[in-house]
Amino acid sequence: MALTGTLDDLTCAELLQMLNLGRKSGTLVVRSGRHEATIHVREGEVVDAVMSNLEGVDAVYRVLALTGGEFEFLRCTDAMPRAITGSTESLILEAARRWDEWSQFEDQIGEMNQVLRVCAGATEIIPTLDTTAKTILDLVDARRDIATIVRESGIEPEEALRVVRALIADHVVEPWAAAQVSWAGEQVHVDPAVARGDLRIVVGVNNANRRPSARRDPGPAHDLEPRTAEALLAG
């Protein structure tokens, strides 16, 4: 029987630790939005992984950065070639180190709350991008801000930010004023340029899991923080 659940129940790190302690063998499939990752485990040790255009340890770091999604573990005793030589514990510790480094790095950068989208005229440039740039671009969806893109990429923070800036300079991606919030269980796109009536949505971020929240704010528009968007909810 397959083990299934969501990353709200168990994080990817907790899943790998559990499989490691139980010395389980099989395939862990993680789905988050339009992305799917596959991690192969043999006797509790991660031996290979694939996610989008990433393979090996880079794919593992990307999976360990996910904060939402679903997982399924399928037991399998077939022999699997080992592409990753490091232990599962060392992979988790390195992912945690990158997370801590990124948290410190993020505090020093003011542009991290900008949401990015792909530029309309970028179709000819995209095929010429290298693997690192394509990894970053794969996360640009007009919802994620730069902070989330860099963190979830699994790439060293300084290198990821350098690539983001290069993509902006080359007009492959661009900052977008829109933001996404959750309101009454529904995902709502809001635009700071819209200001009708006296209802505004103020987007807040829980630093523990970086999930947006929304509340009514009767204050004037000029008091808004960088993570603020204005909108009138229809109906």
Inform me whether the pLDDT recorded for 71 exceeds 60. yes
Asked if 192 and 228 touch (Cβ cutoff 8 Å), the reply is yes
Domain regions of the chain by residue span: 3-99, 109-175, 179-229
Residue type, 188: V
| Residues 6 or more apart in contact with residue 53 via CB below 8 angstroms | 131, 134, 135, 138
Q: What is the pLDDT of residue 219?
A: 40
**Beta carbons within 8 Å of 97's beta carbon, 6+ residues apart:** none
Both tokens of 47, joined, read 């031996």
Q: Is the pLDDT assigned to residue 67 strictly greater than 60? A: yes
Size of the chain, expressed as the number of residues it contains: 235
Write the single-letter amino acid at 210.
Answer: R
Name which of 52, 31, 53, 30 is nearest 41 in CA terms.
Answer: 30
Q: Which two tokens stand for residue 178?
A: 């829109």
Give the pLDDT confidence of 149-199 residue by residue, as tens digits.
888 887 877 788 889 989 998 999 998 864 444 444 444 444 444 433 433
pTM of the model: 0.54
| 70 contacts 22 by C-beta, under 8 angstroms | no
The band of 110, judged by pLDDT with boundaries at 50, 70 and 90, is low
Residue 8 above 60 pLDDT?
A: yes
Mean pLDDT, the chain, rounded, equals 76
Sorted by sequence, the CB contacts under 8 Å of residue 88 that are 6+ apart come out as 16, 17, 19, 20, 41, 44, 45, 46
Is pLDDT at 234 greater than 70 in this prediction? no
